[in-house]
């Protein structure tokens, strides 16, 4: 045990000026993780879910699960009682452990947040300086004592800063994976499997039809299309945090050294990644670019595909980098000409293999296509339950 | 197989004709023989592989997959063959994929009992795109938005040949078209002209505009009724008959009664109709006969096909296309007197003393339930395509109704960023509580400037979104022009509009004053 998260006498009171965390210069991340921020405030009485306040799922599980006594879903999300914190809560709580910076996991308004330094910085950039009271950074692998549990963060391989939460309590270990993938990603640390008793998994692509293609081939598709249609602007829809920077890094890895033009909404995260030492090359703003960018790659949020913003380009060819591009109906529905199956989530074989690797006897599925995964795990004699946590947006991938 | 799979994959995602042509051109230039020939067959006339895909797949699926997982996956994907392609494990070992030609050859020699094992082996050796393409290929005719004519155009473009030269030999060729590619690549002489009939590109008409009418000299034009069927070309030679659609697809299999005239050697232009007891039936009857793989006697008796001829491109091997319309018409009439094949007649020549008489006849077309008039310059040769100033179609005056814009969706291509597809409604329900019922959809008739204005209006007045569709506050009136209104059980309103388009945007008119559904129903006819 390295460090404890000391209790604070008054529940909900924040130490110091809430704005103090904003003084954190992004550039200081470049040379490694910063020193730890002032500790969380720990409520004397943890914000327990009141009896009867738990969700229906919570009731349903109470009968059989032996983890239920210390980890369970309540109306805000997954709550660890002996540790006194929520994980990725969907509404403001006293203390939140955040797995990664995507908005359906990292919401504003918590009194105290524990996460990797990258996740804290990303939250501040995306949600605003005062998006939470206190922030405490925990490096991958470091263990923290919190109430009666010990906790550490382990890379999840999803995006920069993404972490699995490993919680040990009285000889039992639960791993809450957040979102994760198993493919190599040049922009973040690789997923690290941790043996555990309870594995809490996502199931965004929890159907056997979802098997992502190797990235290399998908990027090659984009490069081939540029060669075939040199007169057309290739506008690729990407999720702004993670997918955007990963696609740029993959392009660079495959030798593409032209500028990659960015929609304004992708700027701050891309600059943050670059500031963290991830080589993304030249990323000029579309707004500053001369001409109609024929034959160039433009990255934008998916919502800007075929929108007024794209009228400035030369015969824009719409691409979309997402695991959903596996399904032709979804490609047609979005009017996409160049589907790129590049996902930051585990596909079906990866979900199954990862669960097997953890050796967990029990699996909880937070969100996604949980029916099929629960069915499959049942065949493998693994106890599996769907939590159906509210507020998760699996279609945003 | 890999190159073919990539081609099919990209064709499905490429909407533009030029893009499709480019992809096919590159494929035909680089793919080896005989694979590219089989690919060409699949993309043009279809391949008769005789592989009972659905049955074999069902058999394999039951053994191979957890039924619950397959059911959930099928529900998510929405297509059985695609589900199989995606759920099948394996990413295809490099070099393991079978060549198209191997697949064709193996199937030709295989007994039905071997089908499941063969398919399983192929699926195991391919990646997801390859599996999808294989299933499309085995299905016979992959629907990837390519007509037979477009595939041939791509072959012609790939080797700098003319499509007419390819059409003329096409039906003498057999997949995998070794002789064709040998000729195109300069290794052999041009294959002999096919004994089988050949598609000749059609001559098409322009809509008659006001200035065309002003310049029109009545004596220069032959006039016929405009028939409400589909344009076809009957091509018969050496006992073989083809019935081509306007894009060059052979649709003869759907109309066997038209394809057996003995001793005919001609290429004729005409209208395919359904004729019962001497009366032309509505277009809906013809639709019952289109796109049928097999045609029953009962169907043929219920909806007998008929050909109303109006031009001759070739008779007894003589190319007539260089002759004037008047000369061709005379040859057609003479030929029809001599042969008079059953199920055919000639489109009547209408005579008018002056333009006033012509206009009077046009004004009567709606009352007479006729689509309009065709005006053909008597001196014009038969020219492929849509040459200006030769043929005009003068459709009967459109009906109009004032409808309220309800929903909008973005277009494709150049209109990808504009809300250009509009669903509109008419008032229904009791007087005190009227509701708008959707009555049609239109995406043409407006100028670029009006499109931009409509786009702005829709964005500013969106009340809800359903995926790509925006629901708009019901306050903009569109004057919709359409050719006809037909009863329809498939639509909630009970009616279907034919050829609707936006005639005017009525920024000035309050939505409450738009037309009622009963008014539209009264126009059925």
Q: Which A residues, 304 through 343, put their C-beta within 8 Å of a C-beta on chain B?
A: 306-311, 315-316, 318, 326-329, 331, 333-339
With pLDDT > 70 as the criterion, what percentage of chain B qualifies?
100
Q: What DSSP string runs through B288-335?
A: TTTT-SS--HHHHHHS-EEEEEEEEEEETTEE-TTS-HHHHHHHHHHH
3-class DSSP state of A193: coil
Extract the runs of DSSP E, i.e. beta strands, from A266-357.
Answer: 297-300, 317-321, 338-340
Give helix B35-43 / helix B2-13 axis angle, nearest 10°.
30
Please compute Rg for chain A using Cα positions: 21
Interface contact A335-B416, CB threshold 8 A: yes
- pLDDT value of position A50: 34
The domains located in chain A, with CATH, are 3-208+346-396 (3.60.15.10), 215-340 (3.40.50)
Confidence grade of residue B246 (pLDDT, cut at 50, 70, 90): confident
Interface contact A337-B77, CB threshold 8 A: no
pLDDT (mean) for B303-327: 95
- pLDDT value of position A394: 57
Interface contact B417-A307, CB threshold 8 A: yes
Interface contact B416-A327, CB threshold 8 A: no
- Whether the model pTM is above 0.90: no
Q: Give the start-to-end residue ranges of the domains of chain B.
A: 2-138, 206-395, 399-521
- pLDDT value of position A46: 37
Nearest-CA distance from A308 to chain B in Å? 5
- pLDDT value of position A55: 37
Distance CA B428, CA B422 (A): 19
Interface contact A335-B26, CB threshold 8 A: no
Interface contact B87-A208, CB threshold 8 A: yes
Q: From residue B410, give the alpha-carbon distance in Å to each of B166, B403, B421, B450.
A: 39, 20, 6, 15
What residues have CB less than 8 Å from B295, skipping those under 6 apart? B253, B254, B255, B256, B289
- pLDDT value of position A395: 56
Identify which of B284, B203, B295, B310 has the alpha carbon closest to the alpha carbon of residue B258. B295
Backbone angles phi, psi at A26, to 5 degrees: -60, -35
Q: Which B residues, 395 through 434, put their C-beta within 8 Å of a C-beta on chain A?
A: 410, 412, 414, 416-417
Q: Which two tokens stand for residue B46?
A: 């279809």
pLDDT tens, position by position, B35-71: 999 999 999 878 888 888 888 888 887 788 999 999 9
Higher pLDDT: B101 or B90? It is B101
Active site residue B226: yes
Give ∠ CA A30-A35-A41 in degrees, rounded to 5.
130
- pLDDT value of position A35: 34
Over its length of 397 residues, how does chain A's per-residue pLDDT go in tens digits? 444 343 333 333 333 333 333 333 332 222 222 334 344 443 333 333 333 333 333 333 333 458 999 999 999 999 999 999 999 999 999 999 999 999 999 999 999 999 999 999 999 999 999 999 999 999 999 999 999 999 999 999 999 999 999 999 999 999 999 999 999 999 999 999 999 999 999 999 999 999 998 999 999 999 999 998 999 999 999 999 999 999 999 999 999 999 999 999 999 999 999 999 999 999 999 999 989 999 999 999 999 998 899 999 999 999 999 999 999 989 988 889 999 999 999 999 999 999 999 999 999 999 888 999 999 999 999 999 998 776 676 556 7
Sign of the C-alpha dihedral computed for residues A15, A21, A24 and A26 taken in this order = positive
Q: How far does CA B486 lie from the centroid of its chain? A: 21
Nearest-CA distance from B87 to chain A in Å? 4
Which among B69, B410, B417 has CB closest to A311? B417
Instruction: Identify the H or E element spanning B123.
Output: helix B115-125
- Chains A, B: CB contacts within 8 A come to 81
pLDDT higher than threshold 70 for residue B261: no
Which among A315, A331, A333 has CB closest to B468? A333
- pLDDT value of position B47: 82
Q: Which B residues, 358 through 377, put their C-beta within 8 Å of a C-beta on chain A?
A: none
- Which residue among B20, B152, B226, B242 is the active-site one? B226
Contact yes or no for B417/B451 (Cβ under 8 A) = no
Write down the H helix ranges in B78-147. 80-87, 100-109, 115-125, 128-138
Of the residues B75, B86, B129, the best mutation for testing chain A's interface (the one with the most A CB atoms within 10 Å of its CB) is: B86
Instruction: Identify the H or E element spanning B72.
Output: helix B67-77
- pLDDT value of position A393: 65
Interface contact B76-A333, CB threshold 8 A: no
Distance CA B436, CA B451 (A): 23
Residue A307 with chain B: CB contacts under 8 Å: 417
For chain A, say whether B87 makes contact (Cβ under 8 Å): yes
Interface contact A337-B66, CB threshold 8 A: no
Which residue is associated with the tokens 């105290």? A112
pLDDT tens, position by position, B394-443: 999 999 999 999 999 988 777 888 999 999 999 999 888 999 999 999 99
Identify which of B434, B441, B425 has the alpha carbon closest to the alpha carbon of residue B493. B425
Contact yes or no for B172/B195 (Cβ under 8 A) = yes
* A255 cis-preceded (ω within 30 degrees of 0): no
Superfamily of domain B206-395: DNA ligase/mRNA capping enzyme (3.30.470.30)
Which residue is associated with the tokens 């206190």? A134
DSSP state for residue A186 in the 8-state scheme: T
Confidence grade of residue B522 (pLDDT, cut at 50, 70, 90): very high
- pLDDT value of position A109: 96
Which residue is associated with the tokens 């075929």? A306
Of the residues B77, B136, B453, the best mutation for testing chain A's interface (the one with the most A CB atoms within 10 Å of its CB) is: B77
CATH class of B399-521: mainly beta
CB-based burial label for B3 (10 Å; 0-12, 13-18, 19+) = middle
Interface contact B79-A328, CB threshold 8 A: yes
- pLDDT value of position B414: 78
- pLDDT value of position B288: 87
Nearest-CA distance from A208 to chain B in Å? 5
pLDDT tens, position by position, B331-343: 999 999 998 888 8
């Amino acid at each position: 045990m390295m460090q404890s998260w000391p209790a604070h006498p008054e529940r909900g009171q924040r130490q110091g000026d809430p704005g103090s965390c904003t003084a954190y210069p992004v550039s200081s991340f470049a040379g490694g993780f910063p020193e730890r921020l002032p500790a969380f405030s720990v409520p004397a009485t943890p914000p327990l879910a009141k009896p009867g306040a738990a969700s229906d799922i919570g009731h349903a599980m109470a009968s059989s699960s032996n983890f239920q006594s210390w980890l369970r879903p309540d109306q805000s999300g997954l709550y660890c009682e002996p540790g006194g914190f929520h994980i990725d809560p969907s509404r403001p709580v006293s203390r939140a452990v955040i797995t990664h910076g995507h908005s359906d996991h990292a919401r504003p308004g918590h009194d105290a947040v524990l996460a990797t330094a990258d996740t804290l910085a990303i939250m501040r950039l995306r949600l605003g300086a005062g998006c939470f009271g206190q922030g405490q950074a925990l490096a991958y692998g470091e263990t923290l004592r919190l109430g009666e549990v010990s906790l550490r963060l382990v890379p999840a391989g999803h995006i920069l800063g993404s972490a699995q939460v490993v919680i040990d309590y009285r000889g039992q270990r639960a791993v809450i994976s957040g979102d994760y993938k198993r493919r190599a990603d040049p922009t973040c640390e690789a997923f690290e499997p941790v043996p555990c008793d309870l594995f809490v998994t996502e199931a965004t692509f929890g159907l056997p039809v979802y098997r992502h293609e190797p990235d290399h081939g998908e990027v090659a598709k984009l490069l081939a299309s540029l060669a075939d249609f040199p007169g057309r602007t290739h506008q690729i829809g990407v999720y702004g945090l993670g997918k955007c920077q990963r696609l740029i890094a993959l392009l660079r890895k495959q030798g593409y050294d032209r500028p990659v033009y960015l929609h304004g909404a992708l700027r701050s995260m891309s600059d943050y990644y670059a500031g963290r030492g991830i080589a993304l090359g030249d990323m000029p703003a579309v707004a500053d670019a001369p001409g109609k960018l024929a034959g160039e790659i433009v990255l934008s949020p998916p919502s800007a595909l075929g929108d007024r913003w794209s009228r400035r380009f030369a015969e824009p060819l719409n691409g979309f980098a997402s695991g959903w591009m596996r399904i032709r109906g979804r490609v047609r529905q979005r009017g996409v000409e160049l589907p790129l199956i590049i996902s930051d989530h585990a596909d079906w074989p990866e979900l199954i293999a990862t669960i097997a690797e953890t050796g967990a006897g029990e699996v909880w599925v937070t969100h996604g296509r949980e029916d099929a995964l629960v069915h499959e795990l049942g065949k493998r004699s693994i106890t599996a339950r769907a939590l159906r946590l509210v507020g998760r947006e699996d279609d945003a991938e | 197989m890999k190159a073919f799979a990539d081609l099919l994959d990209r064709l499905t995602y490429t909407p533009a004709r030029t893009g499709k042509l480019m992809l096919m051109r590159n494929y035909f230039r680089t793919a080896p023989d005989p694979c590219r020939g089989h690919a060409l067959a699949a993309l043009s006339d279809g391949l008769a592989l005789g592989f009972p895909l659905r049955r074999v797949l069902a058999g394999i699926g039951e053994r191979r997959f957890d039924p619950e997982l397959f059911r959930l996956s099928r529900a998510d994907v929405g297509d059985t063959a695609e589900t199989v392609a995606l759920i099948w494990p394996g990413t295809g070992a490099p070099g393991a994929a079978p060549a198209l030609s191997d697949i064709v050859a193996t199937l030709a020699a295989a007994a039905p009992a071997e089908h499941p094992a063969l398919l399983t082996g192929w699926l195991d050796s391919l990646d997801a795109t390859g599996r999808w393409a294989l299933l499309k290929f085995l299905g016979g005719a992959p629907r990837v938005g390519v007509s037979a004519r477009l595939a041939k155009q791509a072959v012609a473009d790939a080797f700098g040949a003319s499509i007419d030269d390819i059409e003329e030999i096409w039906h003498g060729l057999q997949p995998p078209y070794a002789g064709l590619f040998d000729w195109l690549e300069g290794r052999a002489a041009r294959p002999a002209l096919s004994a089988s009939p050949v598609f000749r590109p059609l001559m098409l008409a322009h809509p008659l505009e006001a200035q065309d009418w002003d310049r029109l000299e009545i004596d220069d034009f032959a006039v016929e009724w405009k028939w409400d069927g589909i344009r076809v070309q009957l091509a018969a030679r050496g006992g073989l008959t083809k019935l081509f659609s306007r894009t060059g697809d052979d649709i003869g299999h759907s109309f066997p009664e038209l394809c057996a005239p003995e001793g005919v050697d001609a290429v004729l232009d005409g209208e395919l109709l359904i004729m019962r007891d001497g009366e032309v039936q509505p277009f809906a009857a013809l639709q019952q006969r289109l796109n049928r793989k097999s045609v029953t006697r009962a169907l043929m008796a219920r909806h007998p096909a008929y050909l109303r001829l109006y031009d001759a491109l070739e008779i007894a091997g003589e190319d007539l296309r260089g002759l004037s319309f008047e000369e061709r018409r005379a040859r057609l009439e003479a030929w029809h007197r001599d042969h008079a094949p059953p199920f055919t007649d000639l489109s009547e020549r209408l005579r008018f003393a002056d333009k006033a008489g012509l206009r009077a006849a046009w004004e009567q077309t709606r009352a007479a339930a006729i689509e309009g008039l065709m005006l053909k310059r008597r001196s014009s040769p038969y020219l492929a395509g849509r040459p200006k100033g030769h043929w005009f179609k003068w459709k009967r005056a459109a009906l109009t109704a004032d409808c309220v814009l309800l929903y909008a969706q973005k277009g494709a291509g150049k209109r990808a960023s504009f809300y250009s597809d509009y669903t509109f409604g008419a008032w229904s329900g009791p007087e005190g509580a009227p509701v708008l019922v959707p009555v049609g959809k239109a995406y043409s008739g407006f100028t670029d400037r009006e499109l931009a204005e409509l786009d702005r209006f829709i964005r500013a007045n969106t009340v809800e979104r359903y995926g790509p569709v925006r629901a708009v506050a019901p306050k903009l009136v569109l004057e919709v022009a359409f050719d006809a209104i037909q009863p329809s059980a498939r639509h909630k309103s009970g009616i279907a509009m034919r050829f609707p388009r936006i005639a005017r945007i009525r920024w000035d008119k309050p939505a409450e004053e738009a037309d009622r559904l009963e008014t539209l129903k009264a126009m059925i006819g």
